[in-house]
Structure 1
Amino acid sequence: MKKTSYEVMPNAQEKAILVSLVTAEQKMREAYDPEFSLSELASLAETAKVQVLGSLTQNKEYADSKWFIGRGKAEELKAMIEETGANTAIFDQELSGAQVRNLEQFLDVKIIDRTQLILDIFAQRAKTREGIIQVELAQLTYLLPRLYGQGKNLSRLGGGIGTRGPGETKLETDRRHIRNRISELKRQLQEVVRHRSLHRERRKKSGVYQAALVGYTNAGKSTLLRQLTHADVYVENQLFATLDPTSRSLKLPNGLEIVVTDTVGFIQNLPHDLVAAFRATLEEVCEADLILHIVDSSSKMMAAQMQVVDQVLEELGAHGKDRITVFNKIDLCPPEQADMLTTEGEFLKISAFREEDLLRLKERIEVRMTGGSRSFRIPADKGDMISLVYRIGEVLENEVDGSDMLFKVRVNHKAFDKIGYMLAAYDAVRPAEGEQGRDV
């Protein structure tokens, strides 16, 4: 039994033992680190305001169908619970309803798995109507097939982790009520999707360029959004500090404005029900013109975290979108570690608290947005065409050449795709090549 010291939270209602099962299959995964996963579970518990009293790890070929960690280890866990006075056991893996029931009857404490803990944190964080709908839908979808294993768990007094939101209704007694509620939530979510689609169509018609911040939870996305746009967003050093997406206007050095959207952070083993429920929100990533993948460069598990983000983006169908990897928190990295940071494609190393780094990021976004320049030779008497030149981007140079006007224009791709075809006859030079795959 591994003893671990955790921060004391005297006001915490829940007091828990963390339990992890390391199977042969998990050991074969290159990106899996059981110690990091357990440490992350402790952070999740702290975010849910749970006092962690200790942890227990079991190495086993495969999960026990009845006891998950095996009968012997379950007895060891029971002794640990009695010794510490814990009232909750939090498992780092997902449990079946039968395993929850068996462990709950044997240990006489509340049994929570990683998925339920994440769903509970989302229930705390959801503030908007859309967020609340999505969290409740994910919780109900998760709980429905496990109701027969949740009886004692859901009837415990005092609420607490695993029973917020829909857990406060008598879920175990009315499956039909839950199915009806799920149908109603899906209907409400379809309405949300319709509204979001309308907003996206308006943005497309107006030619607004949109960048989406994505990344592992606690990578510094909200901090970066606040520093870039001076947005009044909640920032805290904890997992899933922000849940509801936030969009703010950002003015680039060339004077053009874009929309930057902060999205919910990803995490390893992100519940599928949660991804499905939040698809309406996460689709903002798919609709963005540019993805800014924010990476915590100071994290020891940086590579694994980047892989998790790639997997979720692939699930969403946004893996092939235009992207810049932003290695954040570079000020927390030793110089030798910072020098080794690299990845495929275009990347940038910054600290969200350094003005010069924020300027470099804005300039990089600007280059991606415009992609280069075009030159046009337009007869001086073509006033409508000259006006159009100023509408498709930023005029860098202009001069008179006989009866013609020569323009060098940094092109806004969206505006050019929409109305630039009218200038095709006056296009004198191909677009200049933009930066590719190098950090500057």
Structure 2
Amino acid sequence: MIRIDARTALLGGGLLLLAACATPPTRAPQVPPPAVPTPETPASTPSPSPPPTTSTSAEERSTWGRLRSLFAMQGCDYSPGVQRWAKAYTQSPRAFVASWKEALPFLGLVVDELEQRGLPGEFAMLPYVESTYRPIPTRGDVPAGMWQLVPDTAREAGLLVRKDYDGRLDALASTHAALDLIADYYREFADWRLADMAFNSGEFRVKKLLGGRDARDLEAGELAQFKFNRITHEHLDRLLALACIVEDPARFHVTLPEPGPDTRLRVTDLPIGMDLRLAARLSGVPLDDLKRWNAGYRRNRMPDGVPHRLLLPETRVERFLVASQAMPQPLWNDWREERAARTSGIGSWASQLGVPVGALAAANAIDEDATVLPATRLLLPGHEAEPVDEPATAAGTRVHVIASGDTLSGVAHRYGIPLRRLQQLNPQAGRTLHLGDKLRLDAG
């Protein structure tokens, strides 16, 4: 039987704007776990007591309100760089809001995990800094996914990285791994700022620059003098800038988007794998959306030896459950596409293939008495040939996949390549870089 995981992306409620950021202490405090309210036991009385009223506002129940309640770092006034980045992010309020609207399904999952772990809400901004919450696929030894984890780090964190499944692109698995890293870095350095910097530049770099000092004694100005590269310092500024905007969006003329029913994702565990095209038909979810929410599966078929689960909008889960239970399990994971090439009823195809007409009709989202035209592309039971992989990059050639905030000069500095040489290797790269674009770092 299929079961629904208890973890859900609970998003909702209205948004009330909070007051401007208050000036915090000069060092980042340790975050206590979120307080769990305990209902009071009503006193025993001869007559029935009225039902207790709740003091929890709609703002506090909303995703943004829950996130603000987890903020624990120094936010708006940490450094001048924070203010510069906050203004840069909101230079086009419409584009900024649109990017968060696209990120909402994944944001809900991350906020749930932060609450359960008692981690600072600022780290919900980290996937936005890295990728604007996009599960970016890559090839080779380069970062991937919304957390932009490199293969070695991902594997050390327990993620599978294979051709047919990449845990870095799995929103749930990668979030668990990334937050495990953040928690480990905090246990080592006792400072959330350095946990972020270690995530960006590596823990050994942080250790070396600390030289045995206690990070909790570092003022913001002292930390700014550490010889990280510029990108690592800006990484922290950008994280705090986004938190600053979320803390008081009106200050930046922004109205943060509220999630709707179709952006609250629930985790559905499956007993066996299921073809993603079939899952899309059974749930009534557009295939492109389903693949984006479940990007860990690199092909249509869910391979063996990996987690079998789907992230689906909570409004579509019941439909999926009913439809999948009516679909014989031997048909779940082996489908192929074929042009019909003739006019006939879907029942004729079902009879020819020896499958229930209802199952074949459901897999193609048509009625059982529908007529199939020659140009129709049908989803039919049967193992699909494995796709041929794209030619590999020439041996020894390195590439960098563009993430949010990258610039040509920044990439050149990171890899120690003269800017002019990087431009020669990538003549197609203009002044504007796009997420997911690949820059060659070697001649190959």
TM-score, normalised to structure 2, is: 0.25
Larger gyration radius, structure 1 or structure 2: 1
Structure whose residues are more often strand by fraction: 1
Higher relative contact order (CA closer than 8 Å, sequence separation 6+): 2
TM-score, normalised on structure 1? 0.25
